Each structure stands twice: as C-alpha cells, then as structure tokens.
Amino acid sequence: MGDPELDHQCWERPEAIRGIRPLTQANTSFPGTEVAAETAAMASASLVFKKIDKSYSNLLLEHAQQLFSFADAYRAKDLSCLKHVAELNGQQFADWGNPSWFSWDDKHPGTQQKGMPSEENLDLQMYRKTSEAIMCELLPDSPTATTSRTKGGLPRFQLYIAMDNSTVQLICAILAFHRGASIPADANTTCKDGLTWLESINSNPNVAVRAVLGGPFLNETCVDSRNNWMQAEPTTVLSLPVSSPA
C-alpha cells in the first residue's frame, strides 16, 4: 500500500511518476491478514485461464495458495501497520470484526444482524428490519415481493428501466478524474505542474475506454468537473451494476 498523502499531492501519468512512493509491506513482522487473504482470491482468476493458458492458471493458483498460507500462519490482531487506511476510512478496513457498524465493503453484516440480540442495540434492530424488508421484496414468492421484474423474473431496478428507454441519458461525467486520461501521453510533467491538467476544462486527450464513473447524487445532480472525484473517478466497483444488465 502506498502513502495517499504523498500520492494525492501529485498529478502525473502512472507510467511517468518521478516522485518518491514509499510502500507498506505485509510480512511476518507486519502481518496483514485481510489483504493477504483477499489477494489469494487470484485462485478464482486461475479458472479463467485454465483452458487458454494452463501454465499461467497454475501459477496463479500456486501463488494464491502461498498467500493464503501466509495469511493463515501470520494473523494480525489489528492492522496498525496500515495506518492510512485505518485513519482515513474510519477503521472500516482495519476493523472488520466490529459488529457496531455496517459498510458496503463489510463482510459481516449478515452475521452481525442475525448473531446479536437485536434488543441490545436499537441501530441493529432497525438494520435488521430494513434488511429483512429488502429481502422480502426480492424473493419472488414473498407477499411483499416487488412486481417490477424482467420477463425472466429478475427484480427490475432503475438501471434496467433506464437502459430500456433509449431516450434516457446515462452519461453524467465526461471529464474523468483520471491521471492517465487527462495528461497527454507526450507531456513531460513533474509532481506539481501536472495539476494544470487536473484543473483543465478541456476534454481528456486520452480516452478512458469503457471506464465507468460515479453517477449523480441523490438529488439527481451531477457536476462534470475533473476535480469532482466523487462523481468523476473511474472505479472497478461501479462496473458491475452496469455490465450485468448490459
């Protein structure tokens, strides 16, 4: 993991970075159980390449097994070594075992809301009612099941409706918050002068092919500004809801 405080001070193409980029390493002295175990998920990628590149598939599986063995043998009781993650994200990544909060990236909400007596915590009680209500809407045979479904019976969400309507504009932001897309390939930049392209209102000189940016806020507004990272930053987590119905 890099140092976000240093990284965010610069705006350079990733292949042309000249600044210092110190890294935090997970090892036997500073174990990072979660990050090592999740990296072991490369085992799933080994299935993708199994038929087309068997040697690479076997290599992925081998490394995944090694990483999982490392994560299992050197367990971290806390991730104090990942200081920035813990501080900047409210310990949401470094405190996955805490049953008092819920996050889109949390792996325990089901266990938490079913495993603790709800009468002990009003927040848990409300969360449980909400989660059960959502599940009842999704289950087709539930008396409160949503009637908005595809022909095959899948729940029909707003995204599906929008894609069916060719007049609906799905594009929100064009000026992607992306270093590689915003800086010309032949530009000779340093850490600070690259910020000129961050603040520019001109179109990206490099097209971020198939990048998925954040959508509008709850009030349906969207500010097409490259510096508006909340709505203009391409992320991998945004691609699933778009690629699935497509």
Convert the pLDDT of each residue in 40-52 to its tens digit.
Answer: 777 788 888 888 9
User: For position 95, what pLDDT does the model report?
Assistant: 44
Q: Token pair 């097409």 is at which residue?
A: 224
User: For position 38, what pLDDT does the model report?
Assistant: 76
Q: How confident is the model at residue 231 (pLDDT cuts 50, 70, 90)?
A: confident
Tens digit of each residue's pLDDT (9 = 90 or more) over 3-20: 777 888 889 988 888 777
State phi, psi for 14 to the nearest 5 degrees.
-55, -30
Q: How confident is the model at residue 54 (pLDDT cuts 50, 70, 90)?
A: very high
Secondary structure (3-state) at 149:
strand
* Total-model pTM: 0.53
CB environment 16-49: b (16+ within 10 A), e (fewer): ebeeeeeebebeeeebbbbbbbebbebbeebeeb
Q: What is the mean pLDDT of the chain?
A: 73
User: For position 234, what pLDDT does the model report?
Assistant: 83
Return the closest-CA partner of residue 213 out of 167, 175, 158. Answer: 175
Tens digit of each residue's pLDDT (9 = 90 or more) over 67-110: 888 888 888 755 555 555 555 544 444 444 444 444 545 555 66
* Whether residue 185 has pLDDT greater than 70: yes
* Whether residue 245 has pLDDT greater than 70: no
* Whether residue 228 has pLDDT greater than 80: yes
Query: CA-to-CA distance for 75 and 34, rounded, in angstroms?
Result: 9
User: For position 31, what pLDDT does the model report?
Assistant: 81
Tens digit of each residue's pLDDT (9 = 90 or more) over 160-182: 444 555 444 455 657 888 999 99
Longest dimension (CA), the chain: 63
User: For position 182, what pLDDT does the model report?
Assistant: 92
Q: How confident is the model at residue 209 (pLDDT cuts 50, 70, 90)?
A: confident
